[in-house]
């Protein structure tokens, strides 16, 4: 399935699209599937295309989604909120470097 998705992405005309990065969300570490996918995407798109910040499986994120509110406001000290905070900084850093 992953192979097919990667090929679809590559096959489409994306000449006007710039890939800023790939974000891993809802990661649990009960298996090594996430690491396998990360390795595969890194091979195809390069290490720089993958955000270092991962959004973990977190009950606080699930609750915030149900409430239609950002987890950084509902439970700012939760692992999910901290991950989104880190991701926002990483995103801005990448975007700033990319837009120069």
Q: Where are the domains of the chain?
A: 2-98
pLDDT recorded at residue 51: 94
- What is the mean predicted confidence (pLDDT) over 46-58? 89
CA distance 41 to 8: 13
Confidence of residue 61 (pLDDT cuts 50, 70, 90): very high
Quick one: 2-98 is in which CATH superfamily?
Answer: P-loop containing nucleotide triphosphate hydrolases (3.40.50.300)
Q: Which residues contact 54 (CB under 8 A, 6 or more apart)?
A: 23, 24, 25, 27, 34, 83
- What is the mean predicted confidence (pLDDT) over 63-83? 95
Residue 89 has pLDDT above 90, yes or no: yes
């Amino acid at each position: 399935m992953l192979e097919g998705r990667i090929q679809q992405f590559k096959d489409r005309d994306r000449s006007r699209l710039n890939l800023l990065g790939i974000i891993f969300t809802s990661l649990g570490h009960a298996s090594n599937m996430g690491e396998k996918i990360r390795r595969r995407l890194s091979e195809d798109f390069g290490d720089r295309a993958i955000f270092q910040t991962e959004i973990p499986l977190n009950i606080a994120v699930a609750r915030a989604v149900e409430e239609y509110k950002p987890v950084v406001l509902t439970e700012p000290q939760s692992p999910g909120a901290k991950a989104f905070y880190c991701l926002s900084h990483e995103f801005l850093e990448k975007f700033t470097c990319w837009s120069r």
